[in-house]
Amino acid sequence: MQEITAAIDVGTTKICALMAAIEHDGLGNLGLRVLGEGHVPSRGIRRGVVVNVAEASAAIGEAVEKCEAEAGRHMLKANVGIAGSHIATLNSSGVSPVDRRNGITTADMQRALEGARAVALPQNQEVIHTIARHWTVDGQREIHHPQGMTAYRLEVDAHIVTGSSTAISNLVQCVTKHDIDIDGLVLEPLASNAAVLSPEERRMGVAVVDMGGGTTDIAVFRDDGLCSTQVLDLGGNHLTNDIAMALSTPFDTAESIKVRYGHVVPERVAADEAIWATVFGEKAERSFSRRFMCTVLEARAGEMFEIIRDKLEESGDYKRLPAGLVLTGGSSQLQGMVELGRGILQMPVRVGAPQTTLPITGLSRMLQSPTYATTVGLLLWGLREDGDQVQRRFQAGEAPGGPGNGAQWWLRARSVFRYLLPG
C-alpha cells in the first residue's frame, strides 16, 4: 500500500494544501512525489491566529478540495503549520536511567524527553514540541545521537515550544471539520528549515527568519540541532498597512503596489519615477513618487531587522551565526531585503527557497518560491514522521530485495532525512 503524507499551511495571507506519495528506489532512498496542491487566499486568520472559525474553516476546505481534485484521492490526515504571537518557548532538561546491558534505547530517550516536558506552564498554554537540543551520556555532553551507546544515565537538554490552548483548539477545529486527522502541529519556522537550509548551515550556525503576512518567525540552528525559536508580532501586512496609510489608499491597492513596485533601498529607485494609485474619496488615480513609497517600506523593514537583531542578542545567538540569516516567506522577496538586512545585521543574509536537491519531485514552479518554504517543509516533516510506517512495512519483508532486507533498507533510507529536521 502506498504511503501518503499531506501538509496544510494556514497562514495570514494564504492557505496551501499539499499531498505527496512516499517513494523509494532500489538503493534504499526515500523521497516524495507531489500528487496535488491547492491554495487560496486566507480568510478568518489574523497574525497567524484563527479569529473567525467559519471563514477559516471554509478557506481551508477550499484549499483541500483543490488539492484532492488534483491528486485524485481524499486527504485523510495532514501535518498542519502553526504560528502566531501566542507561541512561547523555554528550555528544560530531563533524565532517564539506562540498563547498561542493553545500551540506550528509544524508550530511554523518550523517558528523558517526557521528563523535560514536565514543566509548569502558564494557564491556557500547552506543549506543541519537545525537541532535543543535545544529550548527555554519563556526564559526557554534546551527544547528538545517543541511541545504542552504553551508559547508566541519560540526560537531555530540550527546547519546549508551547502555544495558547484556545488558539490551538480553534485551528484544530477548522481542520478536523473536513474529516482530516492532524498528524501533528508543526511550528512553521521548524518546517521551513527543512526546505531551505543546507546541512553545513545547520551545523555551523544559522537563523531561519520566516517573514509571513502576520508574524515573523525566527528559528536558530547550530550543531545540527535547534537552539531557540521566537515569534515576532510583525509581518508583511505591516509593510502593506504603512503604504496604505502613507498614500491614503485601500489595503488591497497598497498590497499590489508593494508587490509590483516595492523596494526597501530607496536609493536604488530613480528619483523621478512615478506610480499611480487609487485613493480614498477620489475616482481618478493619483500619481505618487515611487521613491517616497520605498522610504516608507525602508523604515518598517529596517525596524524589523533591528528587532530581529535585538532578539538574537537577547538569546545570545547573535555572535554565533557564521552562516547568518536565511529569509523565507512572502516578504523576503521584496527587493532590497538582502542588502538592507546585511547592512543592519552585519552578517551574511540570503533568501531561501525550497532547494532543488530536496528528495521531492513534482514541485510546481510556484512551490519553489520562498513563499511556500513552510508548505514544502511540512511535507518533509511528514516524510520523517510517516517514515515509521514505512519502516514497519519494510521490516515485515516488503523491502527492495525481498524478505529479510527490511532492517538494512531502513537504516540506509533513514539517512536521507535524518538531518532534515531537528529532534
Average pLDDT over residues 314-341: 94
pLDDT tens-digit readout, 21-49: 988 766 667 888 999 999 999 999 998 89
Q: What is the pTM of this model?
A: 0.83
Q: Give me the torsion for CA of 43, 46, 51, 52, rounded to 10°.
A: -10
Average pLDDT over residues 251-273: 94
37 versus 417: the higher-pLDDT residue is: 37
Average pLDDT over residues 289-308: 96
pLDDT tens-digit readout, 344-383: 999 999 999 887 778 888 888 888 899 899 999 999 887 7
Confidence of residue 418 (pLDDT cuts 50, 70, 90): very low
Average pLDDT over residues 123-139: 91
Contact (CB, 8 A) for 134 and 225: yes
> Could you give phi then psi for residue 244, rounded to 5 degrees?
-60, -40
Contact (CB, 8 A) for 7 and 382: yes
Q: Do domains 88-164 and 236-295 have the same CATH topology?
A: no
Give residues with Cβ within 8 angstroms of 213, minimum separation 6: 11, 12, 13, 14, 42, 235, 236, 237, 330, 331
Question: What is the rounded average pLDDT for all residues in the chain?
Answer: 87
Give the pLDDT of residue 162: 93
Q: Which three cell numbers stand for residue 307?
A: 528587532
Q: Write the CA distances from 217 to 162, 228, 234, 301, 361, integer angstroms.
A: 14, 11, 9, 15, 27
What is the distance, to the nearest Å, from the Cα of residue 99 to the centroid of all Cα atoms in its chain? 37
142, 137, 140: which is closest to 109 by C-alpha? 137
Give the pLDDT of residue 271: 92
Q: Which three cell numbers stand for residue 165?
A: 490552548
DSSP H or E stretch at residue 351? strand 349-351
Domain spans in the chain, listed from the N-terminal domain onward: 88-164, 236-295
Give residues with Cβ within 8 angstroms of 91, minimum separation 6: 133, 157, 158, 159, 160
- Between the ranges 27-36, 209-218, 412-421, where is the mean pLDDT highest? 209-218
CA distance 369 to 367: 5
Q: Which three cell numbers stand for residue 83?
A: 504560528
Give residues with Cβ within 8 angstroms of 375, minimum separation 6: 7, 9, 16, 18, 81, 191, 367
Chosen CATH of 236-295 out of 3.90.190.20, 3.30.420.40, 3.40.50.880, 3.40.190.10: 3.30.420.40
154, 228, 139, 158: which is closest to 190 by C-alpha? 228
Give the pLDDT of residue 363: 86
The answer to whether domain 88-164 has CATH 3.40.50.1970 is no
Query: Is the Cα torsion angle 73, 77, 83, 86 positive or negative in sign?
Result: positive
Contact (CB, 8 A) for 190 and 81: no
Residue where the block lists cell 492532524: 182
Q: Is the pLDDT of residue 85 over 90?
A: no
Average pLDDT over residues 92-111: 92
Q: Is the pLDDT of residue 391 over 90?
A: no
Residue where the block lists cell 498542519: 80
Average pLDDT over residues 312-338: 94
Give the pLDDT of residue 317: 92
Q: Is the pLDDT of residue 142 over 50?
A: yes
pLDDT tens-digit readout, 177-190: 999 999 999 999 88
Contact (CB, 8 A) for 3 and 386: yes
Average pLDDT over residues 315-330: 94
Separation of first and last alpha carbons in the chain: 28
CA distance 103 to 112: 14
